[in-house]
Chain A
Amino acid sequence: MSNGVSTESIPLYVKQPKVYPREVKGRFARLRVIAAWSLLGLYYVLPWISINGQQIVLFDLVNRQFHIFGITLWPQDLIILSLLLAMAALTLFFFTALAGRLWCGYACPQTVWTEVFLWMERVTEGRRNKRMKLDQGPWNKEKIARKSAKQFLWITFALWTGFTFVGFFVPIRDLGLRLVEFNLGGWETFWLFFYAFATYGNAGYLREQVCKYMCPYARFQSAMFDDDSLVISYDVNRGEPRGPRKKSADRAELGLGDCIDCLGCVQVCPTGIDIRDGLQIECIACAACIDVCDDVMDRMGYPRGLIRYTTENAMAGKPTRILRPRIFIYLAALLALATLVGLVLTGRDPLLVDVLRDRTALHRVTEQTLENPYTLKLSNRTDRDLSVSIGVESEALSGLRIIDPTDSVIIAPSEVANQPLTIGMPIDRARVGMHEITIIATDAAGNILNETETRFFIPARALE
């Protein structure tokens, strides 16, 4: 130790004390259960719903199309997807400014799946004290049986989760059939296990460590917070000095506050903190401590809300302003984005038309007619068959007509059809030059699907 450098060994892996959250009942626990059921329901059921044989949510990577509730997005619609993601982020900001970490406590997949895994742990290993005892105890028959049962539930559920995940990218019914036949593709199998493993690890083992060490939201949320944001807080003025007492005791006489120091709030906390130490970055605002404390207050005959949803301003005895510039700015940005998405979505042509000029023969002359050949690339961007008729208009030229195709063309959903197109005009009306023309695609009912500009070429030698 002469050089002053400590030589004591420092373990590379500092083990975190395991958190054993106690089960909790109450208003907010009920809300969390409802949220978990709705969100997990959406996740596990949505891919199985099809309308007209089309899975309503399918990110069909193999065919490079996203189907979302009847809207088909193509790679060139990336802007819509980006706008939707920006909207999701702004919604998160808005709710954070308004009501704190609602997302963390009720909707984050990490929270929701952890709760399901905790529930399975409770079913197989028992309540908090029993779980702690089981972990400390020797590996006897009961421990092996309970731990195996838990692992069986966890792994089955994780694999099902992984399967569902792949089902958002590959049609799930077909995937299910092939799963039963043990006939999954290599990449499908890989992603199924990858996602299953991530779920198992995150919800089974990492749990609160994901929120504490891995989640960036927990770190930058303070940017959206202010003294008017809802937070979960312990009322220090009311609670302190804390201390145990009999229910019959007069707390004023004992000089005690309302907190009986039962540690209920610490035991139920999924991230293992003591809310009485103040607002902490680890708090995911699940409100479990509110539920358990309200219950204790009821039993003591004290008013509820020693721990409650409140704002920093309210705690300091100042008025809370809900409608403040921050809220309006987030809301305005959100509305602007939503309008933009709506405009982009409705402005999309149901049919995408690319007009390619025929490079080998720009024009052709028959007895009475001068013709220009083209190739049309028609992409049906809807989820139904399109019957497309092609027409042509021009301000510069008169007498233009479609020579081929004369009939309408049927294009299947999401199909890209190559359609030869020949436009002709009477040779006696032709004037030399490159003339602007408009190709108009209409559906069977005569509605215009798409208008595309191109050129009609009349060289001097054609008129000689």
Chain B
Amino acid sequence: MTRADLDIPPRPLAQRLGAILWPSFFAAGVATMVFFAIVDPLMLRDMTFPELELSRMAGYTIGFFLFWAATAASSLFTWLLLRPASRFNRRMQ
């Protein structure tokens, strides 16, 4: 068997989910902390959607999940790119 033929068996779901969600969660946490240390959510609201009644807590929460969505999307993309071709080819019989 040559190296090119080496196929890694699919990893457990928990491992895939963990490898995508956890590092992105961590990165989103750090990004949220740095971002909101500089930007007051209330100021941000007044600059963007002044008609909405958003509290600071709401601002932090939305901010965190936006960051997480972005970082998780990137992790997901990385996972897709690292999948061996066989995972895609197998489906087309």
Q: Is the interface of B mostly helix, strand, loop or mixed?
A: helix
Given known A-B contacts A13-B12, A188-B57, A216-B23, A206 and B37 have beta carbons under 8 A apart: no
Asked if A6 is at the interface of the complex by the 8 Å CB criterion, the answer is: yes
Bits for B30-68, please: 1 = Cβ < 8 Å to A, else 0. 000110011010000000000000011110110000000
User: Contact flags (1/0) for B1-24 with A, using CB distance below 8 Å?
Assistant: 000000001111111001100110
CB pair B10 A5 closer than 8 Å: no
Beta-carbon contact of B34 and A78 below 8 Å: yes
Q: Which one of B18, B38, B40 has the greatest number of beta carbons of chain A within 10 Å? A: B18
**Shortest Cβ gap from A437 to chain B (Å):** 31
B10 touches A10 (CB 8 A): yes
Give the contacts of B58-93 with A (CB-CB under 8 A). Answer: 58, 60-61, 86, 89-90, 93
CB B88 to nearest CB in A, in angstroms, measures 11
Decide if A214 touches B19 in the complex (CB within 8 Å).
yes
CB distance from B69 to the nearest CB of A (A): 15
Are A12 and B34 in contact, with the CB atoms below 8 A? no
Note all chain B residues with C-beta closer than 8 A to A190. 61
Given known A-B contacts A6-B90, A187-B61, A190-B61, A62 and B56 have beta carbons under 8 A apart: yes
In the bound complex, do residue B18 and residue A206 qualify as a contact, i.e. CB atoms below 8 Å apart? yes
**Contact yes or no, B18 A209, CB < 8 A:** yes
Contact between chains at A61 and B15 (CB < 8 Å): no
User: In the complex, are the beta carbons of A61 and B56 less than 8 A apart?
Assistant: yes
CB within 8 A of A210: which of B11, B18, B23?
B18
Chain B residues positioned under 8 Å from A16 (CB to CB): 12, 14
Shortest Cβ distance from A14 into B: residue: B12
Query: B-facing mask of A1-13, CB < 8 A → 1, else 0?
Result: 0000111001111
Rounded to whole Å, the gap between the CB of A84 and the closest CB of chain B is 12
Q: Cβ of A15: which chain B residues have Cβ within 8 Å of it?
A: 12
Contacts A62-B56, A209-B18, A214-B18 hold; do A78 and B90 have CB atoms under 8 A apart? no
Q: In the complex, given contacts A5-B93, A10-B9, what are 4 additional A-B residue pairs having Cβ atoms less than 8 angstroms apart?
A: A81-B33, A214-B18, A214-B22, A216-B26
| B-binding residues in A (CB < 8 A) | 5-7, 10-16, 61-62, 64, 75, 78, 81, 185-188, 190-191, 206, 209-210, 212-216
